[in-house]
Structure 1
Amino acid sequence: MGKSGKRRAPWWARLSAVFGAVLMVTSGGVLVTGRTLIAKYTGAMDSGSSILGGPAAGATKAAADIKGPVNILLAGIDPRDTKTAPLSDSIIVAHVPASMDQVYLFSIPRDLYVEIPPFPATGFGGGSSKINAAMSFGSAVGDGRHDVKQGFTLLAKTVSNLTGISEFDSGAIINFGGFKKIVEAMDGVTMTIDQNVKSEHLQPDGKPRPKRPECADNSCDHPYVGPQKTYRKGTYHLQAWEALDYVRQRYGLPGGDYDRQRHQQQFVKAMAKQAMSKDVVSDPATLLKVLDAAGDSLTFFGEGHSVLDWGLALRNVSTDDMTLIKLPGGALMQGGRYQGEQLAPGTDEFFQAVREDRIAEFLLDNPEYVSRNG
């Protein structure tokens, strides 16, 4: 069922949106609790529409119809109402090979400077911009209102143009206002912090750092003052607010947003491992809290399949089978001005490997693409 094209391929919104993939894996892992239970709590996640807009085709498809390779597009957005244009500041592609027993995760930098194609539904004529604006350009539905599902359609088209993946087999939008509840339902998450990180946003007790008066309009790069929460190298059990704050940080990191992308991927892998642990799976009360929170935060595009179908299809994937991939890149300067990020030479070959379902071979020849701290 995988599709391929012919050219090349987050906190709140910066948290790795790959939780959609985590949910699918978790669905497979908790099938022991019964199909009825899962169907009840994942039904609210099915959007009833396809990534490309309109009703989902093939509504009678069965789980057995899901064949690898498959590509899944995931986007994270800040909590917003229908009057605010969404920004997909976290974008991840999950590639599952034909064997359906592994998953490769790679992030698209939120500030990647790309061509966003025309979108007749909103009158957007196309143009160059940071990729996280694609959902915004595609979300307007009139009367000042915005539809994130419609915006997701333009995001999918933009990522397709970038990667050469002609169509995505599934997708999800994660609203991180509800996402925090998922981590809280599991009583935090155990993860390894790979570098010392100071919080730009929070004090050591978790309270927000105050803003300088002159930065009230959000015009400053570093608007906060006062003591900072510090995360030190090592393995810790983090509470929800700590984990989400940690993966939000990029200021002061040697790799900037690229370090943040790695931390986001590490967090999602750690959360997936915890979600599939016996502490969650064998505890009905905890499991129901996790599923309830997921239903509040996820919009799912199954392209004719339910979350349960995808959980069944991916039941052989475990967190040990998740490979985190880092795409190299850096700043794009034009006329001495920063325009956004650009990917490094060589990523065309990686995207070709995605389309041809030979990522494993590519990584053997290019081991620098594997996140060693994953």
Structure 2
Amino acid sequence: MSLVKKIIIVFLVLLTVVVASGTAYGIKVYFQVENVAHSIHRPIEGRQEAEVIENTEPLSLLLLGIANDARRQTDYRANTIMIATLNPVTKKTTLTSIPRDAYVEIVGQGYEDKINHAHSFGGAKMMIETVEQYLNVPIHHYFSLNMDGMADLVDAIGGITVENDFAFTAEDIYFEEGILDLDGWEALQYTRMRKEDPEGDYGRQRRQREVTEILANELVSLSSVMRIQDLLTIIGENGETDLTFSQMSQLFAQYQAALGTVESYQMAGSDFTGDGFRGEYGISYQEVSPEEQQATSQRLKSELTLD
């Protein structure tokens, strides 16, 4: 599962648990959750409000991991791009990963570029509209988390232990082959490296999944007051969504069964280097075939019962 999806689940689980507890502390944390929900709420101007949650219909969420952190100020590219579909009838959730370097038309820019540039050009709105056009499916809501958030979450649980398949260096950190204990900054660089990986971006995504699973397992087991408060603070400082507090509450209550079965898909592409006519000269891109694009679109439509 993606880090962003896990954070959403943890956030909603916290909400449900503290409300159900009926204790003074539970009520206190409930209001903290509500305050965080309000602080990360970023509605998108000009987009019609979807009512799929209110009507308990199949739902699509665009999940974004934004390439920005306090140490390395970047241009807010979306380096993790996933579509989550939650179907309350089939009781299934699917996660579809889109290659961040996929060469697509950027809506509002009038030319083709890496799909992850859409976020740096026009934020969540342009990112959503580009994905919608590219795969011809509606995106109902979005949730994003910047890179500081991932590093802070790892630090909040006291670090993680990973099994590294091969030695490499990233940001002047040498990662030996074998079992490694990583703090937040190290875990972030472990998941970001791709140039030394023989699998390129797909190898990086594999390490992201590894860290995500470790981190997610730790997060859902958190029980101390300090860690719950830390988690809420991290989400509040690094998250962004167009979901309201009410919609988040409804989402967990009405779609909980769909989260029991999760299937993951990865859009596959092939590398090509820009020549100045198609893509910027010397820059690496991913070419997703029309067949792969169409197959992904049809599967998403089926999951959203749009056929």
TM-score (norm 1): 0.66
| Residue in 2 that maps onto 1:117 | 107
Kindly indicate whether the alpha-carbon contact (under 8 Å) linking 1:49 and 1:55 is maintained by their aligned counterparts in 2. no
Q: 1:51-70, aligned counterparts within 5 Å? A: 51=44, 53=45, 57=49, 65=54, 67-70=56-59
| Residue in 1 that maps onto 2:69 | 79
The Cα RMSD (Å) is: 3.3
Distance 1:55 1:39 in 2: 29
Distance 1:302 1:56 in 2: 13
| Residue in 1 that maps onto 2:190 | 246
Go from structure 1 to structure 2 and tell me whether the alpha carbon gap of 1:38 and 1:102 turns closer, same or farther (over 3 Å shift): farther
**Equivalent of 2:94 in 99, 104, 123:** 104
Aligned-partner SS, 2:121: helix
Go from structure 1 to structure 2 and tell me whether the alpha carbon gap of 1:230 and 1:191 turns closer, same or farther (over 3 Å shift): closer
Go from structure 1 to structure 2 and tell me whether the alpha carbon gap of 1:100 and 1:294 turns closer, same or farther (over 3 Å shift): farther
| Residue in 2 that maps onto 1:50 | 43
Tell me the CA shift for residue 106 of structure 1. 2.5
**Equivalent of 1:351 in 297, 301, 305:** 297
Distance 1:23 1:315 in 2: 15
Aligned-partner SS, 2:172: coil
| Residue in 2 that maps onto 1:297 | 238
Tell me the CA shift for residue 263 of structure 1. 2.1
Distance 1:94 1:131 in 2: 17
Query: Is the deviation greater in 127-136 or in 29-38?
Result: 29-38
Aligned-partner SS, 1:255: coil
Tell me the CA shift for residue 299 of structure 1. 0.8
Q: Which amino acid aligns with 1:33?
A: V
Go from structure 1 to structure 2 and tell me whether the alpha carbon gap of 1:298 and 1:231 turns closer, same or farther (over 3 Å shift): farther
Tell me the CA shift for residue 337 of structure 1. 5.4
**Equivalent of 1:255 in 196, 199, 204:** 199
Unaligned runs of 5+ in 2: 21-26, 276-280
Kindly indicate whether the alpha-carbon contact (under 8 Å) linking 1:188 and 1:240 is maintained by their aligned counterparts in 2. yes
Tell me the CA shift for residue 74 of structure 1. 1.7
Distance 1:239 1:285 in 2: 19
Whether 2:170 is the aligned partner of 1:200: answer yes
Go from structure 1 to structure 2 and tell me whether the alpha carbon gap of 1:56 and 1:266 turns closer, same or farther (over 3 Å shift): farther
Go from structure 1 to structure 2 and tell me whether the alpha carbon gap of 1:274 and 1:304 turns closer, same or farther (over 3 Å shift): closer
| Residue in 1 that maps onto 2:131 | 159
- Identity across the alignment (%): 21
| Residue in 1 that maps onto 2:32 | 40
Go from structure 1 to structure 2 and tell me whether the alpha carbon gap of 1:25 and 1:48 turns closer, same or farther (over 3 Å shift): closer
Kindly indicate whether the alpha-carbon contact (under 8 Å) linking 2:150 and 2:188 is maintained by their aligned counterparts in 1. no
Tell me the CA shift for residue 171 of structure 1. 0.7
Unaligned runs of 5+ in 1: 1-15, 119-124, 139-150, 204-227, 360-374
Kindly indicate whether the alpha-carbon contact (under 8 Å) linking 1:113 and 1:339 is maintained by their aligned counterparts in 2. no
By percentage of residues, which structure has more helix? Answer: 2
Tell me the CA shift for residue 352 of structure 1. 0.7
Q: 1:23-34, aligned counterparts within 5 Å? A: 23-30=7-14, 31-34=16-19
TM-score (norm 2): 0.79
Go from structure 1 to structure 2 and tell me whether the alpha carbon gap of 1:348 and 1:183 turns closer, same or farther (over 3 Å shift): same
**Equivalent of 1:286 in 215, 227, 234:** 227
The total of aligned residue pairs comes to 288
